Chain A
């Protein structure tokens, strides 16, 4: 329950950053998708039912703040979560570089799934050319945001919870590097 509340609080902070702070400092309309990073982290470290339900709920909440297509982000985020869950038994989830790689792959998957759902199901004009044009910059933004988040998380953990570990962040922590 506590963990769920922490995830919801993190999602709230991500939304505040994306809707208020980042548009002030970043040029144009592009902004990193911090919620995607959270969804991938959930995919690596939470179970399918609890994590899946939470991710779908977060997606619906995200729809209230982005675009005009209710259920779109619920579908996309759930798809990304299930894709991560599908490979989680074959990879080392304690590797932070893996999280960075998954953020990059997740960005592509997110764009493909959203373009599919919008172009095949809604009456909106073709949006995939815009999304495809935006993808490289979005990839870069998401990757950098994930890197910064990991560094900040490790710093916070070292400073405030030195005796506890955050799952998935060990490889970025120099104490574990050989």
Chain B
């Protein structure tokens, strides 16, 4: 017996450790909707660092895009490039201001159209893994941002807050596989659930007899208790109405371009 134990000890101990880790993960799934101590600690520790790095990286990218790339033309005509460079700097600066202005104006228009209090926030980091779709924003529980609050931009729904620490929060995007939003088709009011599928969404549980057209707009139904009614989710990309079964299979393209997410609005109050 002792010999057997000595021979198989590494395997057994490894198995026990792994099983323990799996059980601990399973237990933690029950508190999945709350921010755990460890997660709060990670957000508190990494948030400021990531926000600082984000500013540095954006600054470097800005310098690279607006200045360094022009160095090649200096070989052709140095004096002209010098003049061009200063003009370009002014132009790109004003372009950047104009674009930012347009984005903020859109957000402002949207903010004024909302009946609930909103809080602008900046996206400072993306999800560390390739499987999940979350982003970190620079507002947290000190700004009244708590788990479950919806996050939007002028184009439509972004996601909801899933983790919150005093100064930073994490937002689960609607394209994540664990996201499900109660939705309806704007034209014929057919109800369903929009689930994330990476870059696309699938609109589940729409009955086969419902008339759905490509390009139809999908909006939130307000039934899930997270998102207010009528926020744009996306438009129908493809429809597969099978010969059998209760439901049709619908793919939806999100209205929001998640690859260029910079500023968002957190809706602070639950829908009335």
Residues of A in contact with B (beta carbons under 8 Å apart): 12, 15-16, 18-21, 23-24, 28-31, 33, 35, 48, 52, 56, 60-75, 78-79, 82, 85-86, 114, 117, 121-127, 130-131, 134, 138, 141
Most buried by A among B21, B38, B53, B57: B21
Contact B172–A68 (Cβ < 8 Å): yes
Given A65-B46, A74-B24, A125-B178, CB of A20 within 8 Å of CB of B54: yes
Given A71-B21, A78-B18, CB of A66 within 8 Å of CB of B50: no
Cross-chain pair count, CB within 8 angstroms: 158
Docked pose: A71 CA to B38 CA in angstroms? 10
Contact B32–A70 (Cβ < 8 Å): yes
Q: Which of A16, A71, A73, A122 contacts B50 (CB 8 A)?
A: A16
Please indicate the chain A residues that have their CB under 8 angstroms from the CB of B237 in the complex: none
Contact A20–B125 (Cβ < 8 Å): yes
Contact B21–A75 (Cβ < 8 Å): yes
Q: How many B residues have CB within 8 A of the partner chain?
A: 52
Given A65-B128, A125-B180, CB of A20 within 8 Å of CB of B21: no
Q: Which of B26-47 contact A (CB under 8 A)?
A: 26-29, 31-32, 36, 38-39, 41-43, 46
Q: Which of B54, B127, B132, B177 contacts A125 (CB 8 A)?
A: B177
Q: List 16 A-B contacts (CB under 8 A).
A: A19-B126, A20-B53, A20-B57, A29-B130, A31-B128, A35-B128, A61-B38, A67-B129, A68-B172, A70-B36, A71-B21, A73-B129, A75-B24, A78-B18, A122-B32, A141-B130
Q: Which of A62, A124, A127, A138 contacts B128 (CB 8 A)?
A: A62
Q: Which of B17, B46, B163 contacts A15 (CB 8 A)?
A: B46
